[in-house]
Amino acid sequence: MKSTNQSLKPLTTKINDAGNLEIGGCDLISLAEKYGTPLYVLDEETIRNICKDYKNAFKSYPKTKMMYASKALCTMAVSAIAANEGFGFDVVSSGEIYTVYKAGVDMSKVLFNGNNKSFDELTLAIELGVGRISVDNFFELSLLNEIAKSHNKVVDILLRITPGIECHTHEYIQTGHLDSKFGFDLTQIDDAVELILNDYTNLKLHGLHAHIGSQIFETLIYGDEIEILVKELARLDEKFNIKLNEINVGGGLGVKYTNSDVPPSTYEIADIIIKRLKECIEKYGIEPPTLFLEPGRSIISTAGVTLYTLGSSKQVPKGKKYFAVDGGMADNARPSMYRAEYFAQVANKPDYELAQTVTIAGRFCESGDILINNITLPELEEGDILCVYNTGAYNYSMASNYNRVQKPAMVLVNNSQSDIIIKRETLEDLISLDVIPDRLKNK
């Protein structure tokens, strides 16, 4: 079966009677006029649909818990939607913890992950009742036990391990191979468990956590991860007589950024994971563990588009034709960081003849600020609205104020209604945290 992550565009995308692109029943040109550009647009129906895909795909293994990986896009509105669909949350900072908390999320369904959690962040997690903390290293084990003891609490934890699996994604988004900053090496697990059992009595270990990467198109790699985790549960039980009953396999399922991308569906991944898990349960003789998954990109990416207004253009003699938009690397860092590729259409000319190959440049003061290289589009004019697809994940969450440019607004669309879920920053917002020392005043 196909699933939502295999779609290039939000599920509600169509050309309306006015000849414009429409998403969630909202004309994109009208949205650009009402809210300005750049503008992040999220389709609620697409978000909910992929959440349901995941739950349906894994329903044959009832001990499955879905956790939305908030780092892909963490806002209060998105958190509320994911919680409404029955998801817990994987968070990686105090900011993400506080966001889901203020959104009304059940904090017992939250897991705190990360390789260098601070004293203040761990304290906040304990005080707000975060359900699991995935401990990444020996320093954190000691620090967390100290904080838990000072709060007179026993904290529920997982150990994050590096399973030694290397998936063929960009090297910056591989997290499961041996030479990684994340997690305990397999040779360090026993030492960590001994500390928890004998010294760190304010920590209660429930299981193991691994994450093998992001934007993954390979499928069998998930089965390899399952075998490593289940084998470790069985081995630890035999050596330490402890019944660990949770495994967290992370997320990482890829999405369709361009027509050439062919990501696997949630159903295909579920079939592989569940089949291998059942085989390993029998092979290693353990009780069926609770299975946690942490999809992030595949939950939110397809639901999002970014609208830009076209401005200046430049024809390089015997070279490229550039068109510049009013955003770029500060609202979408991925092309500059990963050489990520995107597909786009002109929202006010979606069915016009494709007439020219152009490069879409950003407005920021970097030669590398190129959003899309060599895309074929209709004849373009200043003021046209460009719709870049699949920008829901890691666009706003990685956005900056480079060149002191305000971050864009974000709207949620559904059933012909649009609602602001992140306000556009103002010039006053930009300077709101600036301070001029008294000694520099009146000089």
Active-site amino acid positions: 365
User: What would the DSSP string read from start to end of 257-290?
Assistant: SSTT--PPPHHHHHHHHHHHHHHHHHHHT-PPPE
Structure tokens at 142: 């000691």
206, two tokens = 């429930």
Distances (CA, A) of 404 to 178, 182, 327, 329: 39, 33, 12, 13
Do 348 and 307 form a contact (C-beta atoms < 8 A)?
A: no
In whole angstroms, give the CA distance from residue 38 to residue 15. 21
Structure tokens at 179: 């030479």
Using DSSP, state whether 88 is helix, strand or coil. Answer: strand
Residue 180 contacts residue 165 (beta carbons within 8 Å): no
State the Cα–Cα distance between residues 326 and 9, nearest whole angstrom. 22
Residues 249-265, buried b or exposed e (16+ Cβ, 10 A)?
bbbbbbbbbeeebebbb
